[in-house]
Chains A and B, each alone.
Chain A
Amino acid sequence: MTTRTPISLTKSGIRGNRRHHDGKGVAPMIGLLPIAILLVIWQFLGNPHSVFFPLPSHWWTAIQGVEQQGNLWSSILATSLTFIESIIVAALIGTSLGIALGSIRWGGKALDPLLDFLRNLPAAALVPAAAIVLGTNTKMALVIVVLSSIWPILLNTRAEIQNLSPVLSSSIINLRLSGWHRLSVMIGSALPGILLGIRVAAPLALIVTLLAEFITNLSGVGALILSAQQNFNSAEVYALLVVAGLLALAVNSLVSAIEASVLRRHGPST
């Protein structure tokens, strides 16, 4: 087994690691080593009676407590569902709008101020407004998450369509492709960019899902963390932090795996 360079989250790294995907899973696992070492040191050198920094073994006990109350798995499920629904909706709407905006000549520039405004609205600020309009329910969470994670997908798709190679757009006209056929060629060629957008959007969507749960106390991992904090149960807070981290890791691997399998036919990036 050859060693793989760990996936880096720099901009070039995101695009660059497309050809390293046969080593899936391996790189992030090696990357987790420092955290594991830190936890081991913490366990053996930490103060067993500390209120703010409880030992990792106490986290384990705490999380088992949550599980026995029957909240853990249902919360993870709730958070995952909101996340998955949102990212799918964001991908569908983002890609469609991106293609539409990318195809109209003037749309590019004229809508930029509006898009910039919407893109930079902080998700936290949207929550109260959405709560008033939609009430505190999962639909509201979905709207918030979609609104805050759709931008990388939309903007990337738009850029890909606008930068379609002139040779390809001439080919499309010259071969008289129209309707679905034409659209499928455009989507196919924009696909690497669309998937890159989704990869950037996914962690954002997870963060905002947790945030919506914090603020509104909708059931989910976010709400568990909030109630643990309100009960001053620091071991439980840390344990749930680990759960959230693992969730993020799972999301990242899932998105990478989907990206790799979809782009397999595209060959190495140019």
Chain B
Amino acid sequence: MTTQANTDGIVYQLRDLSVNLRRRGQDRQILQSLNFEVRKRECLSIVGPSGTGKTTLLRALAGLIPVEGEITFQGQKLEGPAGDAVLVFQDYGNALLRWRTVKKNVALGIEGRIPREESRLRVDEALEIVGLQKYQDSYPWELSGGMQQRVQIARALAMKPQVLLFDEPFGSLDAMTREGLQDELLRVRSLHEATCVFITHDIDEAVYLGDRLMLLSGSPASLTYELDIPLTGTRSQISTKESAEFLRLRHQVYEQMRKAHGAAPTTE
């Protein structure tokens, strides 16, 4: 991981970002004065209590909601949907089209935009990365939750985006499936070199996958903590998660999380 100062290495630059959402005629500030950047090829984990505004932040990064302040995406002010940043949702059931086969779901974002032959190749490639070639003609509802989530990831990969925005993608999966997909994601990143923003509730997951971690908390939410994750070498479920370094980082995040929750007094 490099800490470049020049803007070449920066994908997102947020300056004084605030978001107000309107619900039933009432404006509510959700995010307040966020300042941070997302660096090229890094995986930035964002954690925070439920309901703070993590999804809102991700939607802002994707250019789906109006914001105050400024988001610079790839050197340009973001106005409207970000073309090169693809979202992966927790709710794969609604993100996928149940009447389309796996293959056609993966092709959704590229079909009609690039020549048919190239589209086929990209779909095959994406399906191979997530290991689902055998299921290309199945329908999503014929697959397990973990497999459906892999379809959604393949759909994002097929677009060859610069940035992948994950919103608690593994939140509704069981522990074994989740760990499998975490490793798959690490592998995909090593192949694709995409930049990731990864939102999760799970501190282990945030530390395991991230190069950097940020804590979003408060109401309106702001960034209350930031941490580099200098885990060296290839990460593995067993050795990494048992390493002293991992446990130390995890401990720090836990403490900060506790503080963020506020109401419950910390034991220190």
Q: Within the assembled complex, what's the spacing in Å between the Cα atoms of A170 and B94?
A: 10
Q: In the complex, which residue of chain B has the Cβ closest to the Cβ of A191? A: B99
Set of chain A residues within 8 Å of B139, measured between Cβ atoms: 265, 267
Q: How many residues of B contact A (CB 8 A)?
A: 27
Q: Say whether B59 faces chain A, with CB atoms less than 8 Å apart.
A: yes
Interface string of A257-270 (1 = CB under 8 A from B): 00000000111101
Q: How many residues of A contact B (CB 8 A)?
A: 20
Contact of A174 with B141 in the complex, beta carbons under 8 Å: no
Q: Is A165 an interface residue (CB 8 A)?
A: yes
A-side contacts of B108, CB under 8 Å: 175, 177, 185
Asked if A181 is at the interface (CB within 8 A of a chain B CB), the reply is yes
User: Do residues A171 and B87 form an inter-chain contact, with CB atoms below 8 A?
Assistant: yes
Docked-complex contact A165 and B81, CB < 8 angstroms: no
B121 within 8 A of A: no
Asked if B142 is at the interface (CB within 8 A of a chain A CB), the reply is: yes
- Whether a CB of chain B sits under 8 angstroms from the CB of A168 is yes
Given contacts A167-B95, A188-B99, A189-B97, contact A175 B86 (CB under 8 A): yes
Q: Contact check, A185 vs B97: say whether CB atoms are below 8 A apart.
A: yes
Please determine whether A170 and B87 come into contact, CB atoms closer than 8 angstroms: yes
Contacting pair B86 A174 (CB below 8 A): yes
CB-CB under 8 A for A181 and B94, given A267-B139, A267-B142: no
Contacts of A168 in B (CB 8 A): 94-95
Please measure, in the bound complex, the distance between the C-alpha atom of A189 and the C-alpha atom of B140, giving whole angstroms.
Answer: 14
Whether a CB of chain B sits under 8 angstroms from the CB of A173 is yes
Query: Closest CB of chain B to A268's CB: distance in Å?
Result: 7
User: CA of A185 to CA of B97 in the docked complex: distance in angstroms?
Assistant: 8
Whether B69 is near chain A, meaning CB under 8 Å from some CB there, is: no
Can you list, as one digit per residue, whether each of A171-185 has a CB less than 8 Å from chain B (1) or not (0)?
101111100010001
Residue of A nearest to B165 (CB): A174
Bound-state CA distance A189–B97 (Å) is 7
Instruction: Please report the C-alpha to C-alpha distance between residue A171 and residue B108 in the assembled complex, in whole angstroms.
Output: 10
Residue of A nearest to B87 (CB): A174
A7 vs chain B, min Cβ distance (A): 23
Q: Which of B62, B97, B99, B140 contacts A174 (CB 8 A)?
A: B62
Chain A residue with Cβ nearest B110: A175
Most buried by A among B59, B81, B87, B99: B99
Q: Does B109 have its Cβ within 8 Å of any Cβ on chain A?
A: yes
Question: A170–B99 contact, CB under 8 A?
Answer: no
Collect the chain A residues with CB atoms within 8 Å of residue B211's CB: none
Listed by A's residue number, 5 A-B pairs whose Cβ atoms lie within 8 Å are A167-B94, A167-B95, A170-B64, A174-B86, A267-B142
